[in-house]
């Protein structure tokens, strides 16, 4: 196996919105490399649709404090309020900056950036839905990804495309570099570097029905978790209410922001019963629970009564064509119905990890629940947990998160690199990864222990036992299943023994991360005896502020996780009952 | 139903040239071609290599030739293409393994046209204003996902890889017709070159191939016209 060594001041792992934004900040100040297992423009930021919120007040009176109130309330009071203030305050400049870099936002007649309504965003702390989401039709994420990549091209940022980072080297508690696998050749590359940002995105592939790309396997969180770094708030996983039935392909909340309505099999607008004031624009956790409740009450549509309808038929062809072109095309392509004329079958789909690698507000990774900083390691975007989303993220706040905290990760890298001297990493750094790869190549393939079979059983069982509604019983069942799957994984084998684009080998290693993410999720969920935001325990239906106003920190331990906790940082908003 | 799939395979570690392999896959009419490729890879032959990511036509990873036409494998359903399939890598770029081609020449052409906003003026602390009409002028070409379906369907590109190709021109168009941009002169100078827009012979293959429905040939014509007007 060929080993190639590189030396950089800083390395960014992942080239979605957070990674690229960090790169733009860091590149002028250091020798920087961005490493991505895809091509940058293939990153899943590009699949985000509806918008990016900022209190620009282009349509109506708005104020970043109201945005912060909504974010905290939406988080079911688990978000750290000082971090939320940063997110909402810096949102305004972040949007303007993207516009200056060329982002083609949709425009109002007066030429300003257009803004639309979105779930959980209100004016004056809950009075009525707010026009706060800045958008570019229903492909806002695509435009952000393209604009950030274009900016990187103009700056001459160095990319290693289709290189997959699979190991980090930390010596004496300090980052020394990362080790990557080059997909096109099978070579190992050692990146000697003292500052690393993980911006690898989420891990929605732990579930069967998911809006996430195949590539979202939790690589960054997995790499750190295996080195003893905890993962924060893993029990909080968001299910987006409107995935295309069975496929899970996302249909943006913008559809409801523009006036779309959810209906059960009888055509009833059931959200009126669950959130009387803002109805279909309630936050995602509530809408997903409402759909699941309708379905289990027998109000679902279709032969298996297992979906509801997203009705856009009253919006008119013009609005749909102008404002929702992509998602209505998805419906035509994958469901073969005309959304201008017929309601769309939808069901909740695994969408977004509120939890992830713990960081402070400067995107510095924390190595324990006490807040100890791990020198030289940063994380941003969905891979990270600041926490600004708490127990439930509001729509549009993820695009905001990636630019605000991606930028901060870049700044922190610059601070660290200017204060430290270049390090040296031994050639032995490749040994652990080389061993892992050799094991997989040398082990004889058997169908019984194929990657796909273990992964399918993982996704099916997580879907069954750890999705929207959970109980002690389902979570204990899943814990046992995960133990079995872990045992099977110890014997995992691959058929492809080649060096060039051996994606089966990579999928085998990614499956290890998916198992880690599932174990941390289930352990954290089992220990949280309350319902808060996206975490719904049917055996503990109420929020318990006395015992659980705290973030969980899951540390890897054989087949489960050891849990520790850290208090939520409160601010001006006192926890209250969450009603809409 | 059973779907028969013929795939042009090539493994640089063992093959001197490509060869066809046949597979029979049990599939539902609503399944994506990408789902079928996964069934082969996951349950039959793990060495089959292809790119994929989002699986719903927005990331641009899985452009390939399906029954003679460039498509994204995740955007086509079995019922649209029938139960007898022939799948090959996109044409005109070097094949690396199976359905994976070397994308570097493609991205090099993209970078040549300065695909970023050029405007040296201090923009102030609020957004630049742009009317909805001005915004609409380049709406179509903002949709590009750089999948290379257009460029690798172009007969001119097949014979002359020095031609920047439709995708690069689409990405130039996105900025040339953006009222906020001031770099058109430089970009059009590049596209006036012998390997620029005038190499296009309006075959319209690119327009048919675009999975995002971009009017690619029209965008190239817009650029040709703009180049002449700027002379």
ipTM: 0.98
Q: How far is A47 from chain B (nearest CA, A)?
A: 6
Domain co-membership, B95 together with B111: no
Residue of chain B with shortest Cα separation from A204: B54
Cβ count near B29 (within 10 Å): 12
Can you give the residue range of the structural domain that contains B38? 2-101
A185: closest chain B residue by CA: B96
Phi-psi region of A210 (alpha: psi -120 to 50; beta: other; left: phi over 0): beta
What DSSP designation does A393 have? P
Residue pLDDT, tens place only, A158-210: 999 999 999 999 999 999 999 999 999 999 999 999 999 999 999 999 999 99
Q: Please tell me the distance in Å from B47's CA to the nearest CA on chain A.
A: 5
Token pair of B41, please?
């890879």
CATH number, position B162 = 1.10.1060.10
Q: How many CB pairs (< 8 A) connect A and B?
A: 156
Return the beta strands (E) in A435-503 as ranges. Answer: 469-470
pLDDT of residue A558: 82
**Chain A residues in contact with B120 (beta carbon < 8 A):** none
Helix (H, G, I), strand (E, B) or coil at A561: strand
Partner-chain residue, chosen from A100, A247, A500, that has the shortest CB–CB distance to B12: A500
User: Two tokens at B60?
Assistant: 């641009």
Q: Tell me: the pLDDT tens digits for A436-484?
A: 999 999 999 998 999 999 999 999 999 999 999 999 999 999 999 999 9
- Cβ distance of B57 and A452 shorter than 8 Å: no
**B174 touches B115 (CB < 8 A):** yes
Say how far residue B48 (Cα) sits from the centre of its chain. 22
> What average pLDDT does range A378-384 have in this prediction?
98
Same-domain check for residues B93 and B183:
no
Query: Are B84 and B140 in a shared domain?
Result: no
The answer to whether A23 and A113 have CB atoms below 8 angstroms apart is: no
CATH of the domain at B55: 3.10.20.30
B30 with B47, same domain? yes
B49 with A502: Cβ contact below 8 A: yes
Separation of alpha carbons A467 and A534, rounded Å: 9
My answer on whether B121 and B225 are in the same domain is yes
pLDDT, one tens digit per residue, over A267-289 is 999 999 999 999 999 999 999 99
Residues B185 and B113 grouped into a single domain: yes
Could you report the per-residue pLDDT of A530-556, keeping only the tens digit for each?
999 999 999 999 999 999 999 999 999
Q: Residue B75: closest CA among chain A residues belongs to which residue?
A: A333
**Which residues, 6 or more positions from A380, have their beta carbon under 8 angstroms from its beta carbon?**
A18, A19, A21, A22, A197, A198, A199, A359, A363, A401, A402, A405, A406, A408, A409
Q: Which of A8, A96, A21 is nearest to A401 (CA)?
A: A21
CATH topology of A243-348 equal to that of A429-567?
no
Q: What would you report as the CA-atom Rg of chain A, rounded to the nearest whole angstrom?
A: 23
Sign of torsion over alpha carbons B7, B8, B11, B16: positive
- Average pLDDT score over residue span A89-93: 98
Report d(CA A523, CA B21) in Å as an integer. Answer: 45
Chain A residue at shortest CA distance from B58:
A47
| pLDDT grade for A559, boundaries at 50, 70 and 90 | confident
Residues of A in contact with B55 (CB under 8 A): 213-214, 249
- Confidence band (pLDDT; 50, 70, 90) for A116? very high
Cα A349 to Cα B136: distance, rounded to the nearest angstrom = 33
Whether A153 and chain B come into contact, CB under 8 Å, resolves to yes
Are B111 and B223 within one domain? yes
Q: How far apart are CA A24 and CA A149, in angstroms?
A: 9
What value does the mean pLDDT take over residues A369-382? Answer: 98
- Chain A contact present for B13, CB below 8 A: yes
CA angle A382, A208, A403 (to 5 degrees): 15
pLDDT at A276: 94
Q: Look at A215 and B53 and tell me if their CB atoms are within 8 Å.
A: yes
Average per-residue pLDDT in chain A?
Answer: 97
Segment A359-385 shows an average pLDDT of 98
The mean pLDDT of A499-510, rounded to a whole number, is: 98
Catalytically active residues of A are: 284
A214–B53 CB contact, under 8 Å: yes
**A:235-294 residues touching chain B, CB 8 A cutoff:** 247, 249
CB < 8 Å to B131, chain A? 107, 109, 111
- Same domain? For B109 and B222 the reply is yes
Chain B interface, best mutation among A90, A93, A100, by max B CB count within 10 A: A100
What is the share, in percent, of chain B residues with pLDDT greater than 70?
A: 100
CA distances from B112 to A28, B107, B116 (A): 22, 9, 11
For residue B41, list chain A residues with Cβ-Cβ distance below 8 A. 452, 503-504
User: Which residues in chain B have Cβ-Cβ distances shorter than 8 Å to A109?
Assistant: 131-132
- CB contacts of B53 in chain A (<8 Å) are 38, 42, 44, 213-215
Assess A150–B contact: CB distance below 8 Å, yes or no. yes
User: Under an 8 A CB cutoff, do B103 and A41 touch?
Assistant: no
What are A326-346's pLDDT values in tens digits? 999 999 999 999 999 999 999
**Residue A541 has which token pair?**
């239906």
Residue B161 pLDDT level (bands cut at 50, 70, 90): confident
The total number of residues shown for chain A amounts to: 580
**Among B101, B122, B140, where does a domain finish?**
B101
Structure tokens at B111: 């970078």
Q: Both tokens of residue A382?
A: 């969905």
Please report the residues numbered 95 through 134 in chain B whose beta carbons come closer than 8 angstroms to any beta carbon of chain A.
96-98, 100, 103, 107, 111, 114-117, 123, 125-132
Crossing angle between the packed helical segments A451-465 and A472-490, to the nearest 10 degrees: 170
Q: Residue A145 class from Cβ within 10 Å (0-12 exposed, 13-18 middle, 19+ buried)?
A: buried
User: Is the previous residue joined to A10 through a cis bond, with omega within 30 degrees of 0?
Assistant: no
What's the pLDDT band for B20 if we cut at 50, 70, 90? very high
Contact A213 B59 (CB under 8 A): yes
Separation of alpha carbons A311 and A345, rounded Å: 9
Confidence of residue A560 (pLDDT cuts 50, 70, 90): confident
B184 burial via Cβ count (<10 Å: 0-12, 13-18, 19+)? buried
Q: Please state at what angle helix B216-230 crosses helix B184-192, rounded to 10 degrees.
A: 100
**Secondary structure E strands in A237-279:** 237-244, 261-263
> Tens of pLDDT along B210-219?
999 999 999 9
Please name the member of A136, A451, A496 whose beta carbon is closest to the beta carbon of B47: A496
Who among A154, A451, A452 is closest to B116 (CB)?
Answer: A154
CA A227, CA A486: separation in Å to the nearest integer?
Answer: 18
Scanning A466-557, the segments in alpha helix (DSSP H) are: 472-490, 503-527, 545-548
> With an 8 Å Cβ cutoff, is A96 touching chain B?
yes
Closest Cα of chain B to A2: distance in Å? 15
Which residues 372-431 of A are in CB contact (within 8 Å) with B? none
Give per-residue burial for A282-305: e unless 16+ CB within 10 Å, then b. bbbbbbbbbbbebbeeebbbeeeb
B71 vs B75: CA distance, rounded Å: 7
Across the interface, which of B32, B55, B126 has its CB nearest the CB of A214?
A: B55
The pLDDT, as a whole number, for residue B106 is 98
What DSSP string describes A304-363?
A: TT-BEEEE-TTS-HHHHHHHSHHHHHHHHHHT---TTTSPEEEEEEEEEES-BEEB-TT-
In three-state secondary structure terms, A255 is helix
Together in a domain, B130 and B167: yes
Cα nearest neighbour of B137 on chain A: A104
Starting at the edge strand that comes first in sequence, how are the strands of the sheet with B19-26 ordered? Answer: B19-26, B2-9, B84-88, B63-66, B69-72
Spatial separation of the C-alpha atoms in residues A544 and A65, rounded to whole Å: 26
- Top residue of A45, A333, A441, A450 to mutate, by most chain B CBs within 10 Å, is A333
* Rounded-to-integer distance, Cα A251 and Cα A246, Å: 13
Residue with tokens 């059973």: B2
For residue A195, the number of C-alpha atoms closer than 13 Å in the C-beta half-sphere is: 28
Closest CA to A556 of A373, A357, A414: A357
Tokens of A80: 């750290």
To the nearest whole Å, the CA of B114 is away from the closest chain A CA by 7
pLDDT in tens, A195-249: 999 999 999 999 999 999 999 999 999 999 999 999 999 999 999 999 999 999 9
Q: How confident is the model at residue A1 (pLDDT cuts 50, 70, 90)?
A: confident
Residues in B 42-81 with any Cβ partner in A closer than 8 A: 42-43, 45-47, 49, 51-61, 75, 77
The Cα A40–Cα A344 span in angstroms is 32
Residue A276 tokens, joined? 């009387």
* A3/A508 Cα distance (integer angstroms): 21
Mind listing the pLDDT tens digit for each residue in B62-97?
999 999 999 999 999 999 999 999 999 999 999 999
Q: How far does the CA of residue A100 sit from the closest CA of chain B (Å)?
A: 7
Task: Assess whether B62 and B73 both reside in one domain.
Answer: yes
Cβ contacts of residue A100 below 8 Å, gap of 6+?
B123, B127, B128
Residues A318, A322: Cα–Cα separation, whole Å: 6
Same domain, B211 and B182: yes
Same domain, B108 and B81: no
Contact A101 B47 (CB under 8 A): no
User: How many Å apart are CA A142 and CA A436, to the nearest integer?
Assistant: 35
Q: Which of B53, B98, B132 sits opposite A42 (nearest CB)?
A: B53
Q: Does residue A533 contact residue A392 with C-beta atoms inside 8 Å? A: yes
Q: Domain A243-348 is in which class? A: alpha beta
Q: How many C-beta neighbours within 10 Å does residue A355 have?
A: 30
User: Does residue B144 surpass a pLDDT of 90?
Assistant: yes
Task: Pull the structure tokens for residue A525.
Answer: 């969920």
Tell if the CB–CB gap between A495 and B12 is shorter than 8 Å: no
pLDDT of residue B231 exceeding 80, the answer is no
Architecture of domain A429-567: Up-down Bundle (1.20)
> Domain ranges in chain A?
243-348, 429-567
**Distance between the two ends of chain A, CA-based, in angstroms?**
59
Q: If you average pLDDT over residues A131-143, what whole number do you get?
A: 97
Answer whether A363's CB lies under 8 Å from A409's CB: yes
Binary contact (B145, A142; C-beta < 8 A) = yes
Q: Is A330 on the interface with B (CB under 8 A)?
A: yes
- The residue among B50, B74, B101 that closes a domain is B101
Q: Which residue do the tokens 């359903």 mark?
A: B77
Chain A stretch 32-91, residues whose beta carbon is closer than 8 A to a beta carbon of chain B: 38-39, 41-44, 46-47, 56
Q: Do B145 and A46 touch (CB under 8 A)?
A: yes
Which runs of E-coded beta strand occur in A245-294? 261-263
Rounded Cα gap, residues B161 and B84, in angstroms: 32
* Count of domains observed in chain B: 2
CA nearest B39 in A: which residue? A452
User: Which backbone phi and psi does B165 adopt, to 5 degrees?
Assistant: 90, 160
Coil, helix or strand at residue A248 = coil
CB A251 within 8 A of CB A310: yes
Closest CA to A489 of A563, A562, A436, A561: A436
């Amino acid at each position: 196996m060929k080993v190639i060594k590189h030396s950089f001041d800083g390395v960014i792992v992942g080239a979605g919105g957070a990674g690229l934004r960090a790169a733009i900040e860091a590149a002028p100040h250091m020798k920087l490399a961005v490493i991505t297992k895809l091509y940058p423009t293939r990153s899943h930021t590009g699949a985000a649709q509806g918008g990016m919120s900022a209190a620009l007040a282009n349509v109506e009176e708005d104020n970043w404090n109201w945005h912060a109130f909504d974010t905290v309330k939406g988080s079911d009071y688990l978000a750290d309020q000082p971090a939320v203030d940063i997110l909402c305050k810096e949102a305004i400049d972040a949007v303007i900056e993207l516009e200056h870099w060329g982002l083609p936002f949709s425009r109002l007649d007066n030429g300003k950036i257009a803004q639309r309504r979105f779930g959980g965003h209100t004016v004056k702390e809950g009075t009525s839905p707010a026009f706060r989401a800045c958008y570019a039709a229903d492909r806002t994420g695509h435009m952000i990804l393209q604009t950030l990549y274009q900016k990187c091209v103009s700056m001459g940022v160095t990319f290693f495309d289709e290189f997959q980072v699979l190991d980090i080297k930390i010596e004496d508690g300090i980052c020394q570099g990362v080790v990557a696998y080059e997909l096109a050749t099978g070579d190992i590359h050692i990146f000697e570097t003292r500052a690393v940002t993980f911006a690898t995105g989420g891990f929605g592939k732990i579930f069967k029905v998911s809006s996430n790309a195949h590539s979202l396997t939790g690589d960054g969180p997995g790499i750190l978790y295996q080195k003893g770094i905890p993962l924060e708030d893993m029990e909080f996983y968001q299910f987006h209410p409107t995935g295309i039935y069975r496929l899970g392909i996302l249909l943006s909340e913008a559809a409801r922001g523009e006036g779309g309505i959810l209906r059960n099999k009888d055509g009833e607008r059931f959200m009126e019963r669950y959130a009387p004031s803002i109805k279909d624009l309630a936050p995602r956790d509530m809408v997903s629970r409402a759909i699941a409740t309708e379905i289990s009450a027998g109000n679902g549509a279709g032969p298996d009564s297992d979906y509801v309808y997203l009705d856009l038929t009253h919006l008119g062809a013009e609005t749909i064509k102008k404002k929702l072109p992509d998602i209505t095309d998805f419906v035509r392509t994958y469901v073969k119905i005309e959304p201008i004329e017929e309601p769309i079958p939808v069901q909740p789909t695994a969408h977004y990890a509120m939890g992830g690698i713990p960081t402070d507000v400067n995107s510095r990774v924390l190595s324990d629940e006490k807040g100890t900083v791990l020198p030289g390691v940063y994380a941003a975007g969905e891979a990270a947990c600041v926490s600004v989303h708490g127990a439930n993220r509001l729509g549009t706040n993820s695009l905001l998160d990636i630019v605000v905290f991606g930028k901060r990760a870049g700044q922190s890298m610059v601070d660290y690199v200017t204060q430290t001297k270049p390090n040296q990493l031994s050639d032995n750094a490749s040994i652990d990864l080389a061993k892992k790869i050799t094991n997989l190549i040398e082990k004889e393939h058997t169908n019984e222990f194929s990657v796909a079979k273990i992964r399918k059983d993982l996704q099916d069982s997580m879907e069954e036992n750890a999705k929207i509604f959970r109980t002690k019983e389902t979570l204990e069942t899943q814990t046992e299943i995960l133990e079995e799957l872990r045992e099977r994984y110890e014997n995992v084998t691959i058929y492809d023994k080649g060096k060039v684009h051996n994606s089966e080998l990579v999928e085998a290693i990614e499956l290890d991360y998916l198992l880690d993410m599932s174990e941390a999720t289930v352990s954290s969920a089992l220990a949280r005896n309350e319902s808060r935001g996206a975490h719904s325990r049917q055996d503990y239906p109420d929020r318990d502020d006395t015992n659980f106003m705290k973030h969980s920190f899951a540390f890897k331990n054989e087949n489960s996780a050891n849990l520790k906790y850290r208090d939520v940082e409160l601010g001006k908003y006192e926890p209250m009952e969450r009603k809409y | 139903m059973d779907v028969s799939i013929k795939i042009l395979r090539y493994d640089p570690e063992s093959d001197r040239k490509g060869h066809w392999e046949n597979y029979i896959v049990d599939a539902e009419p609503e399944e994506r071609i990408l789902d079928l490729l996964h069934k082969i890879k996951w349950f039959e032959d793990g060495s089959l290599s292809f790119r994929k990511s989002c699986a719903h036509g927005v990331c641009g990873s899985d452009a390939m030739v399906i029954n003679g036409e460039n498509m994204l494998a995740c955007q086509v359903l079995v019922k649209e293409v029938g139960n007898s399939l022939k799948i090959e890598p996109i044409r005109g770029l070097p094949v690396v393994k199976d359905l994976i081609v070397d994308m570097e020449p493609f991205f090099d052409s993209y970078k040549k046209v300065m695909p970023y906003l050029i405007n040296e003026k201090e923009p102030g602390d609020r957004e630049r204003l742009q009317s909805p009409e001005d915004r609409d002028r380049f709406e179509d070409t903002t949709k590009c996902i750089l999948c290379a379906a257009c460029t690798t369907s172009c007969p001119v590109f097949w014979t002359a890889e020095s031609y920047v190709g439709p995708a690069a021109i689409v990405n130039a168009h996105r900025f040339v017709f953006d009222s906020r941009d001031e770099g058109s002169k430089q970009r059009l100078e590049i596209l006036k070159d012998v390997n620029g827009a005038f190499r296009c012979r309006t075959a319209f293959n690119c327009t048919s191939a675009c999975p995002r429905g971009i009017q690619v040939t029209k965008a190239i014509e817009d650029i040709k016209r703009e180049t002449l007007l700027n002379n």
